């Protein structure tokens, strides 16, 4: 079996689309699973749509995701350059070869003339194509005499090179995902191969580059399916072997429309039925990298069993194109959220703690010791949906409460709370070991003594040490805080709270 070589070939026209990231991911997974090469090729042949910084941004997102190319603009390789804009002369040579072989021709029609040709058609009908039925009425090296054409070329008249699509041919090809697909040449127009600005169109460039770069499998979005016959014909003209094809299903908004960046400010205020196609938005919103990758991998693919949480490494081992679906998928934020939480909960505490330090520093919060910090992370981990929540959830572990939630005071702070809490700090002062088990025993004993529910102590203590009414299990929380802090905070609260009540 020949070497697996796949490419992700985006055009730098803006932000990185969720669908684009998935295409990159599938290419990457396919290559890695089979010991192949993952190539990044920048398809920047449309100067009018070129966006400054888009390439850098694209590479940054790919690196962020861990989908690092084996060959590409950054890492180089034996098949460069990896920018199509730097390969112009290559395409030009191949286009000439086509013309010399009678497979392509020069066309001198101006954009206005083509526009006019299309406008001439009755409104009820479909716009005509530049094809066998029309080309002899246009201005090109087929309709003009050889002398006229040569004259125009010599005079430097603007021209494009068009592919001469044969009449009455059926192009059939096999797609790994869709099976056999065929098109009749009647449906295909004489595709422009070289534009008047000298740059190639996608169709020529991708065929030439895929061949020259020895691409074994083309994995891309379904929007390309309809232009495959043109590519099939080009491969035939050049006498090249075509790579295997896999056309991926599209990804849509919840309302079934195409994902668009229009009218989207943030994930918190999405227009009804819409979702943000910009990968950067999810990164900025604090989604776990692994969760994003896991989620988009499952948009159109599944491992065939019940498992649904995978790291990039794990996906590498089980991915296969054969298990990619045919039908389009809808992007669902809730499932992403679920996976985000799953990945967070499955992280090793040590690793998470290390990464959370950055979040803490950003928030300007300082902590005492590594062991203490890790203990807090361990305790709070299972309550996290997003890692950024940690800062908020853990504040009272790093500084004393400055106020007490009035709602909770009203609900939990009873007339005897102060008295019970005095008793509580007195009891815990006698404890040999200040651990969750001992603290709990202590609380239960006080409650029994007064014949009240232990909640009558638990809730006020929580309020006293944290200032709020929600949080992790109280006893574990107190153990981590330590006897000294707990005693101090409870005393503070006893002083503060009744004063506020009056």
Min dist CB 303 to RNA, Å, is 8
Q: Which of residues 352-411 bind RNA (CB under 7 A)?
A: 382-383, 385
Choose, by CB under 7 A, the member of 325, 407, 429, 501 that binds RNA: 325
Task: Indicate whether 57 belongs to the interface with RNA (CB under 7 A).
Answer: no
Binding test (CB under 7 A) with RNA, winner from 320, 337, 395, 492: 337
- The β-bridge partners of 171 are 183
CB closer to RNA out of 195 and 485: 195
201 makes contact with RNA (CB under 7 A): yes
66 is an interface residue for RNA by CB under 7 A? no
Tell me the closest approach of the beta carbon of residue 247 to RNA, in angstroms: 8
Closer Cβ to RNA, 32 or 462, answer by number:
462
- Interhelix angle 455-466/417-429, rounded to 10 degrees, is 80
The residues, any chain, with a CB within 8 Å of residue 41's CB and separated by 6 or more, are 7, 8, 9, 72, 82, 83, 84, 209, 213
Q: Which CB, 114 or 283, lies closer to RNA? A: 114
Please tell me which residue in 241, 261, 411, 441 is annotated as part of the active site.
261
Q: Which is closer to RNA, CB of 273 or CB of 368?
A: 273
The answer to whether the CB of 168 falls within 8 A of the CB of 158 is no
> For RNA, which residue of 312, 465, 474, 494 counts as binding (CB under 7 A)?
474
- Answer yes or no: are the C-beta atoms of 216 and 243 closer than 8 Å: yes
- For the window 442-471, what string marks contact with RNA as x by the rule CB under 7 A? -----------xxx--xx--x------xxx
Nearest CB to RNA, comparing residues 318 and 330: 330
Q: How far is the CB of 197 from RNA (least distance, A)?
A: 6
Q: What CA–CA distance (Å, rounded) separates 369 from 375?
A: 10
Q: Among residues 280 and 454, whose Cβ is nearest to RNA?
A: 454
Structure tokens at 23: 């295409």
- Comparing CA positions, the residue from 380, 450, 458 lying closest to residue 412 is 458
Q: Cα separation of 133 and 437, whole Å?
A: 88
Q: Which of 85, 143, 285, 302 binds RNA (CB under 7 A)?
A: 302
CB contact set of 106 (below 8 Å; sequence gap of 6+): 99, 140, 141, 149, 152, 153, 159, 160, 161, 162
45-76: b or e for each residue (b if 16 or more CB lie within 10 Å)?
bbeeeeeeebbebbbebbeebebebbbbbeee
The answer to whether residue 362 is catalytic is no
Binding segment for RNA (CB under 7 A), chosen from 32-40, 74-82, 223-231, 279-287, is 223-231
185 binding RNA? (CB under 7 A):
no
Instruction: Give dist(CA 403, CA 18) in Å, integer.
Output: 43
- In the complex with RNA, the residue whose CB is nearer, 257 or 361, is 257
One residue of 85, 88, 227, 395 binding RNA per CB under 7 A: 227
| Interface of this chain with RNA, residues 271 to 300, rule: CB under 7 A | 298-300
* 154 bridge partner residues: none
Binding to RNA, residues 418-447 (CB under 7 A): none
Residues contacting 380, CB < 8 A, separation 6+: 390, 393, 394, 472
Told to check if 249 binds RNA by CB under 7 A, we report yes
Name the minimum Å distance from CB 157 to RNA. Answer: 10
HSE (CB half, 13 Å, CA atoms) of 35?
A: 3
Token pair of 493, please? Answer: 């609260």
Report the distance separating Cα 297 and Cα 321, nearest Å: 11
Site for RNA in 129-148 (CB under 7 A): 129-130
Q: Does 241 bind RNA (CB under 7 A)?
A: no
Which secondary-structure segment (H or E) carries 390? helix 389-393
Stretch that binds RNA, among 88-96, 142-150, 221-229, 421-429 (CB under 7 A): 221-229
Residues 9 to 28 in contact with RNA, rule: CB under 7 A: 9-11, 13
Near RNA by CB under 7 A: residue from 152, 475, 479, 486: 475
* Prior bond of 3 cis (ω within 30°): no
φ and ψ at 371, to 5 degrees? -60, -40
Q: In the bound complex, what is the minimum distance in angstroms from residue 450's beta carbon to RNA? A: 15
- For position 304 contacting RNA by CB under 7 A, the verdict is yes
Give the catalytic positions in this structure.
Answer: 261
């Amino acid at each position: 079996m020949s070497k697996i070589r796949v490419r992700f070939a985006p055009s730098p026209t803006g932000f990185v689309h969720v669908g684009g990231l998935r295409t990159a991911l599938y290419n990457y997974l396919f290559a890695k699973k089979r010991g192949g090469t993952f190539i990044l090729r920048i398809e920047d042949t449309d100067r009018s749509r070129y966006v400054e910084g888009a390439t850098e941004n694209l590479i940054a997102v790919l690196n962020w995701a861990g989908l690092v190319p084996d060959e590409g603009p950054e890492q180089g390789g034996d098949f460069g350059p990896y920018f199509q804009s730097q390969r112009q002369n290559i395409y030009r040579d191949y286009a000439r070869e086509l013309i010399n072989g009678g497979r392509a021709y020069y066309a001198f029609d101006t954009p206005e003339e083509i526009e006019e040709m299309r406008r001439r058609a009755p409104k009820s009908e479909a716009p005509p194509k530049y094809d066998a039925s029309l080309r002899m009425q246009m201005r090109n090296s087929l309709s003009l005499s050889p002398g006229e054409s040569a004259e125009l070329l010599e005079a430097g008249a603007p021209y494009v090179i068009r592919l001469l699509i044969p009449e009455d041919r059926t192009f059939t090809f096999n797609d790994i995902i869709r099976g056999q697909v065929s098109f009749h040449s009647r449906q295909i127009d004489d595709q422009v191969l070289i534009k008047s600005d000298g740059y190639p169109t996608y169709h020529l460039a991708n065929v030439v580059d895929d061949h020259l770069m020895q691409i074994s499998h083309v994995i891309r979005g379904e929007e390309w399916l309809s232009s495959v016959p043109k590519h099939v014909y080009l491969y035939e003209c050049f006498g090249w072997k075509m790579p295997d094809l896999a056309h991926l299903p599209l990804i849509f908004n919840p309302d079934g429309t195409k994902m668009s960046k229009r009218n989207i400010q943030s994930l918190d205020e999405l227009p009804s039925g819409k979702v943000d196609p910009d990968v950067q938005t999810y990164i900025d919103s604090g989604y776990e990298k692994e969760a994003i990758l896991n989620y988009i991998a499952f948009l159109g693919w599944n491992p065939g069993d019940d498992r649904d949480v995978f790291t990039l490494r794990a996906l590498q081992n089980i991915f296969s194109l054969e298990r990619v679906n045919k039908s389009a998928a809808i992007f669902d934020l809730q499932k992403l959220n679920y996976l985000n939480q799953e990945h967070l909960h499955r992280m090793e505490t040590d690793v998470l703690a290390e990464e959370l330090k950055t979040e803490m520093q950003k928030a300007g919060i300082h902590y005492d010791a590594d062991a203490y910090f890790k203990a807090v992370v361990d305790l709070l981990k299972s309550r996290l949906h997003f890692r950024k929540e940690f800062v908020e959830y853990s504040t009272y572990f790093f500084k004393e409460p400055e106020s007490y939630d009035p709602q909770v005071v009203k609900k939990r702070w009873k007339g005897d709370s102060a008295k019970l809490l005095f008793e509580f700090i007195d009891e815990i002062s006698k404890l040999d070991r200040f651990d969750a088990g001992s603290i709990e025993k202590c609380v239960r004993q006080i409650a029994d003594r007064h014949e009240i529910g232990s909640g009558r102590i638990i809730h006020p203590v929580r309020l006293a040490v944290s200032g709020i009414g929600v949080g992790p299990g109280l006893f574990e929380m107190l153990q981590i805080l330590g006897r000294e802090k707990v005693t101090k905070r409870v005393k503070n609260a006893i002083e503060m709270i009744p004063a506020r009540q009056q």
